[in-house]
Amino acid sequence: MKVLEIHGSTGDSTILVGGSLRDLGTYISAEEVVIITDINVRRSYLKDFPPYEVIEIGAGEEIKNLDTVQAIYGRLVELEAGRSSFIVGIGGGIACDITGFVASTYLRGVRFGFVSSTLLSQVDASVGGKNSVNFRGYKNIVGVFNQPEFVICDMNLLRTLPEREIACGFAEVVKHAAIGDRDLFSYLEQHYEKALELDLEVIERLVYDSLVIKSSIVNRDEREKGERRKLNFGHTFGHAIEKTTGIPHGEAVSAGMVVASALSAKRGYLSVEGTKRIEGLLKKLKLPTRLRLNGGEVVDALRKDKKRAGDSIHFVLLHDIGSAVIEEISIEELEAVVHDLC
């Protein structure tokens, strides 16, 4: 097991890469513990849960909203959960986001931690202290920054994931490599077959190296005033694609990274060879790179991007594989890119 630390404004967060759900009890020093988990994770792994109360939620992006949050508050009240209670989210990005939001607001905040069960949440969503839900069609627009005390990344939980879900996690690994680690990018190019087979050694390295990049960025800029924006590489178009097509987040980010790479090349930063390597790696990892899109809908979604500041968006471009830069790009220029694409 490898350990990383995030030192957040709300507290420290210990990331345990290669930790185990079965050891969960050893990381919690509290008398009352409540688990929040989704229906699928509960079905597959209940036998490995310590004997705590369990609140079950549904699965899928559509349950990541204030209705689910309200239902959980109701159960916590029924269970008489108090200030000294500890809440653990066991699941992917959705279960962890909801758990973090609930724990940060119930009784003005109780202690919490995560057991992260999908590749996407292990390499990205469950780490870094963003806890948000969707509201009226706006993704992650209601939320708080608050660090979980721990995140256990248990590689054994990845074995039951569908192939498509695993591929979505690889999109965020490619993102981390593209913005901050050219060696990780080359390693993934060389070992993508073993990665797809979920070879333990390869997967653990991919998760750890991704989180080295993410945790160091979050340690420098927890509240996303500057450098943390780099973690949104591929996400401006990705979120617009996700919203308009309904495809999973990782797939949309994959296509979004291809657009952002093309824009980086158009601006004279990234070489054409660099754009080809990025698209080639995404394809090898069974991710979509080019999609049929409705230009009007994509433009509308870009205009509603929560990261928009006036007429422009902080957009992440690549100077090279492993080196990212943030630039303000006007909505007009992004619209022109969409019109070229569609």
Binding residues for ligand GLY, rule: CB under 6 A, are 124, 128, 130, 228, 231
Question: With left for phi above 0 and alpha for psi between -120 and 50, is residue 192 left, alpha or beta?
Answer: alpha
Nearer to ligand GLY, 210 or 244 (CB): 210
Compute the least distance from the CB of residue 176 to ligand GLY, in Å. Answer: 10
Dihedrals φ, ψ of 145, to 5°?
A: -90, 125
Nearest-angstrom CA–CA distance, 211 and 227: 15
Toward ligand GLY, which CB reaches closer, 85 or 232?
232
End-to-end, the C-alpha distance of the chain in Å comes to 46
- Kindly state the smallest distance separating residue 123's Cβ from ligand GLY, in Å: 10
Could you list the beta-strand ranges (E) of the chain. 2-8, 11-17, 33-38, 53-57, 86-91, 111-116, 130-135, 138-145, 150-153, 308-309, 312-320, 323-330
* Smallest gap from residue 107 Cβ to ligand GLY (A): 26
The least distance separating ligand GLY from the CB of residue 130, rounded to whole angstroms, comes to 5
- Which lies closer to ligand GLY via its Cβ, residue 128 or residue 274? 128
Residue 20 corresponds to which tokens in the numbers above?
A: 């185990």
User: Minimum CB separation from ligand GLY for residue 147, in Å?
Assistant: 12
Q: How far is the CB of 243 from ligand GLY (least distance, A)?
A: 16
> Which C-beta is closer to ligand GLY: that of 42 or that of 230?
230
Cβ atoms 153, 122 nearer than 8 A: yes
Q: Give the residue with the Cβ less far from ligand GLY, 111 or 228.
A: 228
Per DSSP, which regions of 157-311 are E strands? 308-309
CA 134 – CA 144 distance, rounded (Å): 12
Between 130 and 205, whose beta carbon lies closer to ligand GLY? 130
Taking CB atoms, the residue at the shortest distance from ligand GLY is 231
